[in-house]
């Protein structure tokens, strides 16, 4: 019985880590679709979002089942509670990748992004994917040092997000209001994606230490 219970806990964590890998792949494809006006990649992200939603539902079902049938305590209880909240964070990351892909599809065959901002979105995509992949590794390893590193890693995304406003407010911006709105919204999607990855890592800190770090700066 105990072995089965532990296997269920391990499967719960493994499912969440796999979700991180899935949303990392989704954001990678969404970014490429955005930069290259690639409709096929955008459609792939959009169609696969349903599967990510399904994985969240499965994770929550497993977590509530463990609460109801096993009455976990101490670290095990923290694992289950963190999984319930973490599944929501990771699903939201998938939704944000979906929003990026939808923007690429909406403007196709034109590019959403003016050429001058594409290098910034290349970097935002790289940082976002790296954060999601690292969150997956943190779930698997429960490595406190790596978990706390994610907040520092997120600073790069915050800097890129802030810089986009400098670009948009520059008097040399010649692409009009519609393009500026698209760019501002897309930058926000990436920034929120990174914040959710950090939130996942913070829940691992809670699992290991029993203490939730202070609130994220917004």
Average pLDDT over residues 148-170: 95
Residue range 50-80, pLDDT digits in tens = 999 999 999 999 999 999 988 899 999 999 9
140/136 Cα distance (integer angstroms): 6
Q: Which two tokens stand for residue 110?
A: 């034109």
The fold of 2-209 is Methane Monooxygenase Hydroxylase; Chain G, domain 1 (1.20.58)
Instruction: Give residue 2's pLDDT.
Output: 61
Chain centroid offset of residue 203 CA: 14
pLDDT per position as a tens digit, 10-52: 999 999 999 999 999 999 999 999 999 999 999 999 999 999 9
pLDDT beyond 50 at 217: no
The string of DSSP codes covering 31-100 is HHHHHHT-HHHHHHHHHHHHHHHHHHHHHHHHHHHHHHHH---HHHHHHHHHHHHHHHHHHHHHHHHHHH
Q: What is the pLDDT of residue 74?
A: 92
pLDDT at 190: 98
Contact by Cβ (8 Å): 22, 52: yes
**Gyration radius (Cα) of the chain, Å:** 19
Angle CA(51)–CA(56)–CA(60) in degrees, nearest 5?
A: 145
CA distance 177 to 138: 41
Domain ranges of the chain: 2-209
Question: What is the reported pLDDT for 215?
Answer: 59
């Amino acid at each position: 019985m105990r072995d089965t219970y532990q296997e269920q806990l391990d499967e719960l964590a493994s499912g969440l880590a796999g979700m991180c890998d899935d949303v990392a792949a989704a954001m990678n494809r969404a970014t490429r679709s955005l930069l290259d006006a690639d409709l096929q990649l955008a459609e792939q992200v959009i169609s696969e979002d349903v599967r990510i939603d399904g994985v969240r539902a499965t994770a929550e079902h497993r977590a509530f089942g463990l609460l109801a049938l096993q009455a976990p305590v101490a670290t095990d209880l923290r694992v289950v509670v963190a999984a319930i909240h973490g599944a929501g964070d990771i699903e939201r990351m998938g939704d944000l990748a979906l929003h990026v892909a939808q923007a690429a599809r909406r403007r196709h065959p034109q590019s959403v992004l003016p050429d001058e901002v594409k290098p910034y979105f290349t970097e935002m995509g790289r940082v976002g994917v790296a954060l999601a992949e690292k969150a997956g590794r943190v779930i698997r390893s429960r490595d406190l040092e790596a978990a706390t590193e994610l907040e520092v890693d997120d600073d790069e995304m915050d800097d890129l997000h802030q810089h986009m406003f400098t670009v948009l407010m520059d008097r040399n911006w010649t692409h009009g209001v519609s393009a500026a709105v698209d760019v501002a919204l897309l930058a926000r999607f990436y920034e929120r994606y990174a914040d959710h990855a950090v939130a996942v890592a913070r829940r691992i800190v809670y699992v290991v230490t029993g203490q939730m770090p202070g609130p994220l700066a917004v």
